[in-house]
Amino acid sequence: MISENSGEDPRLRQLVDGIVRLAAGDLSTRMTPSENRDDIDAVIAGVNLLAEELEHIYSDLEQRVADRTAMLRRTQAELEQMAKTDALTGLANRILLNERIQEALQNSTASGKAPAVLVLDLDSFKAINDTLGHGAGDAVLVEVATRLLSAVRATDTVARLGGDEFAVVITESTQNEILQIAHRASEKLQDSLRIGSETVWAMASIGVCISAPGDSAESLMRDADIAMYQAKGQGRNNVQLFHPDMLLAVQERSRITAELRNAVSGGELALQYQPVVELASGRVTGLEALLRWHHPARGLIMPDSFIRIAEESGLILELGRWVLHEGVAQLRRWNETAPNLTDFCLHINLSAAELFRSDLLADIRETLDRNHVAPQRLVLEITETVLMSRGTTEEQVLGGLRDLGVGLQIDDFGTGYSSISYLRSLPADTVKVDQSLIQDIGSDPQQQKFVAAILQLISAAGLKAIVEGIETAEQAEQLQAMGCLYGQGYYYGRPQPPEQVLDRLESLAQRRYS
């Protein structure tokens, strides 16, 4: 019980002050009970206990809030990390790469050193994906990531841009150091890798751009990309350092692309025909249609200057369609003007992309029908590299072409990576041995043996061989002595406009039929 004169009891004042402090949040407040051990002391003890309890609850709460906050921070960091890394390889992605390039540019001092960017594109990744499946493709990408990380320094960042494209940001370094890193990356990718029981290669074309004052992350990436395309153009599997001239080449390419677009409709394209002959008799067994572009301002442009551009821009489908229609129509015109000359085939070159043209089979069938040309008189030349890396779509199209009855020929044989076992499974009936292989057979006995072996190999695979690029009588004799039956080259005739070809065919026919 509180005594009558409690108003004067100083403990009550202390009690009220204590409660006010507690209510204001000072949970460490405690009051000291007196010796009286009376009711007021009991209330004081009770309030102290309550304060104790509150303090516990409060610090527990504080701890829990701190824990949750830390967890939230971690999750946020993880999310940020996820948004900036590539899920498959764990490398930086495009976003992080961009940040790192910007950081590198900001931190660069004018010390004769500069940050740089490498852009890498694998050279034959599509083939790996197509032949071994996407699981194998993923395993290759992960291994490439590991090798790239082992080629750079801790301060550099390796990123995957998507697909089979990677990039590296190199922090401030000398040109020498930068090129060393690029070549080290290239070397690390030279070694084969094992995927299950298969051995594959994942070599890359690498473009390097060293920043110059005023460069942005964007311009660095663009120029490294241009250099990478240059590396592809130089035969892949190499390193190219960006040079402003390359930008001019890109602009020139896009101008050619624009002009090529009008070339078909503007009637600027033409075909020339080069004979394929039976070496022993000189009889023409085929005519290869070779595309020419008569540019109104620049004159005659050869296919090596525009076929690749057409392939890159997709224009090749339109060009290919034109070549097929024009070539087969020409065959019909020859049939009509010289009905006794029907024992030769028309050879047409097909680019890889054309095998993906959805209407290819139908177009070939209709074009042949329309011109009353038998499918057996058409031979499609497809390069070795295309046939090597064929996937299911190509396989189906090639099967369809065979069913149609047209001939299939491997072009430029010996320039790709055909293995012996591969030759047997190729869906073709003739093989055209590339001209580079016979260039030196006159002077190099070793090369002679090599070509002889290749010819034997082709024949052992049940295929017919044609050798292209025969320029001299000596080469022709040597090849004949090796058992080669068919050939093509300037020695037998250069590519010519259709009228001139017919004269040659007719004079041959007259000789044979008279």
Residues of this chain that interact with ligand C2E (CB under 6 A) are 274, 290-291, 302-304, 307, 320, 323, 349-351, 381, 411-412, 435, 468-471, 488-490, 495
Instruction: Look up tokens 């996820």; give the residue.
Output: 82
The one of ligand C2E, Mg ion, none whose footprint includes residue 276, by CB under 5 to 8 A per kind, is: none
CB of residue 273 to ligand C2E, shortest distance in Å = 10
Handedness of CA 194, 195, 196, 197 (dihedral sign): negative
The first and second tokens of residue 164, run together, are 């089979």
Instruction: For Mg ion, give the closer residue by CB, 117 or 279.
Output: 279
430 binds, among ligand C2E, Mg ion, none (CB under 5 to 8 A by kind): none
Binding status of residue 478 toward Mg ion by CB under 5 A: no
- Could you tell which of ligand C2E, Mg ion, none binds residue 471, using a CB distance below 5 to 8 A set by kind? ligand C2E
Question: How many positions of this chain bind Mg ion (CB under 5 A)?
Answer: 4
Minimum separation from the CB atom of position 259 to ligand C2E (A)? 17
Residue with smaller CB distance to ligand C2E, 143 or 381: 381
Of 354, 381, 384, 394, the residue at the interface with Mg ion (CB under 5 A) is 381
Check binding of 411 to Mg ion (CB under 5 A): yes
> In terms of CB distance, is 116 or 379 closer to Mg ion?
379
Which DSSP symbol is given to 496? B
Tokens of 445: 């006995």
Answer whether 65's CB lies under 8 Å from 79's CB. Answer: no
Hey, which residues between 338 and 377 contact Mg ion (CB under 5 A)? 349
- Nearest distance in Å: CB 210, ligand C2E: 35
Three-class SS of residue 167? strand
Closer residue to Mg ion (CB): 115 or 469: 469
DSSP secondary structure code for residue 85 in this structure: B
- Residue 307: CB minimum distance to ligand C2E, A: 5
Binding partner at 495 among Mg ion, ligand C2E, none, C-beta below 5 to 8 Å by kind? ligand C2E
**Between residues 297 and 300, which has the closer beta carbon with respect to ligand C2E?**
300
Cα–Cα separations (whole angstroms), residue 87 to 100, 122, 142, 169, 465: 18, 19, 10, 19, 49
Q: Which is nearer to ligand C2E, 201 or 322 (CB)?
A: 322
Taking CB under 5 A as the rule, which mask of x and - marks residues 304-343 in contact with Mg ion? ----------------------------------------
Name which of 432, 435, 501 is nearest 271 in CA terms.
501
Angle subtended at Cα 193 by Cα 189 and Cα 196, rounded to the nearest 5 degrees: 155
Q: How far is the CB of 375 from ligand C2E (least distance, A)?
A: 19
Alpha-carbon gap, residue 407 to 387, rounded angstroms:
14
State the Cα angle at 63 between 59 and 65, rounded to 5°. Answer: 115
Nearest approach, Cβ of 364 to ligand C2E (angstroms)?
A: 14
> In the bound complex, what is the minimum distance in angstroms from residue 310's beta carbon to ligand C2E?
8
Give the separation between CA 80 and CA 83, rounded to whole angstroms. Answer: 5
Q: Please spell the DSSP secondary structure of 259-328, one letter per residue.
A: HHHHHHHTT-EEEEEEEEEETTT--EEEEEEEEEEEETTTEEE-GGGTHHHHHHHTTHHHHHHHHHHHHH
> Taking the complex as a whole, how short is the minimal distance between the CB of residue 193 and ligand C2E, in angstroms?
31
Indicate whether 215 belongs to the interface with Mg ion (CB under 5 A). Answer: no
For ligand C2E, the closer CB: 202 or 386: 386
> Residue 54 carries which DSSP code?
H
Q: How far is the CB of 437 from ligand C2E (least distance, A)?
A: 12
For helices 217-233 and 244-265, what crossing angle results, to 10°?
70
Q: Which does 455 bind (CB under 5 to 8 A by kind): ligand C2E, Mg ion, none?
A: none
Integer-rounded Cα Rg, in Å, for the chain is: 39
Q: Minimum Å distance from CB 303 to Mg ion?
A: 10
Q: What is each CA distance from 383 to 344, 380, 469, in whole angstroms?
A: 21, 10, 16
Torsion over CA: 449, 451, 452, 458 (sign): positive
Closer by beta carbon to ligand C2E, 92 or else 307 = 307
Backbone angle region of 273, left / alpha / beta, with phi > 0 → left and psi within -120 to 50 → alpha: beta
User: Which listed option, Mg ion, ligand C2E, none, makes contact with residue 302 (CB within 5 to 8 Å by class)?
Assistant: ligand C2E
Decide: residue 372, CB within 10 A, 0-12 exposed, 13-18 middle, 19+ buried: exposed
Q: For residues 130 and 288, which CB has a smaller minimum distance to ligand C2E in the complex?
A: 288
With respect to Mg ion, which residue has the nearer C-beta, 239 or 276?
Answer: 276
Q: Which residues bind Mg ion (CB under 5 A)?
A: 349, 381, 411-412
